[in-house]
């Protein structure tokens, strides 16, 4: 606690007697105050004082506490968004600490959004209609939600809530809801990119075959998930103008060989790699391909 290098990390383990509280609450280092804001034994008077701390990172930690009164939480949410927008850029000669604090303050609204709160997940029902995205996402992580609560979160106005709930309980997502979620999906930020790489939701064969001629490229790329996709549909998808669709169908077992061979020289490297990795590529074509890829002979 006496060493500036280790003080912030030690705060959470400190016994908060009156002298320690006074020292930590007035510490010049905002990281120390932010850690104090997380302390489970924080008295209400100090908690409320830190709720208006000049450093927004401190306010965020007060926002995330289970014992923070709702009116205080709402005030923090509003103030963080307003203050972060009104902050002037640091001057060119500002020291490193000032610049770091500026970055933390500007990022504070995002921090409010991406918080994952275990105490909310442990008792999710009171929070499924929370005005805060992070609370609804934390509730959606719970595996103990009743079906009606799951349905409400699957139809949440915020995409990250819908996707989180779908990943938590994919077995409760009916085909119509699954299609609605996928049709509404738009990759907007780095926090939802995982949805592009996980096959969370499943669809019956009839839906997948319908997707093969859908105007939406994302849904067309789902069609090859049908292991029995008719060869004529697979062939059509192999000529799709969208790379992601051609890449998805390249390793399909029902893709006619002429189409598979054509994809080996596709203009998209990712499509060509998918075709080259197809387990249905004939051995003789593999032997033809390996020297051209510089992989054989050793």
pTM (predicted TM-score): 0.86
**Whole-angstrom distance, CA of residue 108 vs CA of residue 68:** 18
Average pLDDT of every residue of the chain: 93
pLDDT of residue 216: 95
Domain boundaries, the chain: 7-114, 118-196, 207-292
pLDDT of residue 190: 58
Close Cβ partners of 236 (under 8 Å, ≥ 6 residues apart): 212, 213
* Confidence grade of residue 293 (pLDDT, cut at 50, 70, 90): confident
pLDDT of residue 191: 56
* Confidence grade of residue 189 (pLDDT, cut at 50, 70, 90): low
* Confidence grade of residue 91 (pLDDT, cut at 50, 70, 90): confident
Cα 83 to chain centroid, rounded: 25
Environment class of 262 (CB within 10 Å of its CB; exposed 0-12, middle 13-18, buried 19+) = middle
pLDDT of residue 223: 98
Distances (CA, A) of 190 to 12, 67, 114, 132, 186: 30, 31, 11, 19, 11
**pLDDT higher than 80, residue 231:** yes
* Confidence grade of residue 103 (pLDDT, cut at 50, 70, 90): confident
**pLDDT higher than 60, residue 192:** no
Are the C-beta atoms of 236 and 215 separated by less than 8 Å? no
- Tens digit of each residue's pLDDT (9 = 90 or more) over 50-65: 999 999 999 999 999 9
Cα 46 to chain centroid, rounded: 33
Residue 272 token pair: 């060509």
pLDDT of residue 266: 96
Alpha helices in 38-157, H assignment, sequence order? 44-50, 56-63, 70-86, 96-114, 118-122, 133-140, 147-154
């Amino acid at each position: 606690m006496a060493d500036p290098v280790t003080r912030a990390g030690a705060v959470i383990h400190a016994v908060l007697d009156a002298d320690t509280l006074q020292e930590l609450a007035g510490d010049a280092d905002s990281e120390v105050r932010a850690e104090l804001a997380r302390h489970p034994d924080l008295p209400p008077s100090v908690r409320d004082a830190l709720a208006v701390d000049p450093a927004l990172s401190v306010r965020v930690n007060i926002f995330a506490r289970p014992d923070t009164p709702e009116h205080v939480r709402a005030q923090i949410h509003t103030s963080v968004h307003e203050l972060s927008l009104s902050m002037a850029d640091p001057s060119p000669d500002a020291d490193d600490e000032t610049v770091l604090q500026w970055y933390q303050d500007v990022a504070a609204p995002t921090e409010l959004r991406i918080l994952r709160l275990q105490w909310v997940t442990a008792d999710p029902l009171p929070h499924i209609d929370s005005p805060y995205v992070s609370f609804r996402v934390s509730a959606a992580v719970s595996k103990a939600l009743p079906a009606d609560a799951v349905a409400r979160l699957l139809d949440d106005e915020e995409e990250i809530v819908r996707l989180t709930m779908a990943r938590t309980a994919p077995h409760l997502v009916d085909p119509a809801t699954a299609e609605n979620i996928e049709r509404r999906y738009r990759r907007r930020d780095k926090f939802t990119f995982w949805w592009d790489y996980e096959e969370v939701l499943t669809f019956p064969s009839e839906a997948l075959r319908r997707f093969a001629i859908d105007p939406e490229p994302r849904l067309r790329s789902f069609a090859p998930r049908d292991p029995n996709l008719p060869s004529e549909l697979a062939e059509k998808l192999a000529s799709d103008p969208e790379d992601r669709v051609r890449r998805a169908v390249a390793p399909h077992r029902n893709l006619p060989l002429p189409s598979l061979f054509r994809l080996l020289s596709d203009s998209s490297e990712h499509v060509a790699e998918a075709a080259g990795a197809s387990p249905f590529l004939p051995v003789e074509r593999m032997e033809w391909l390996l020297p051209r890829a510089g992989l054989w002979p050793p």
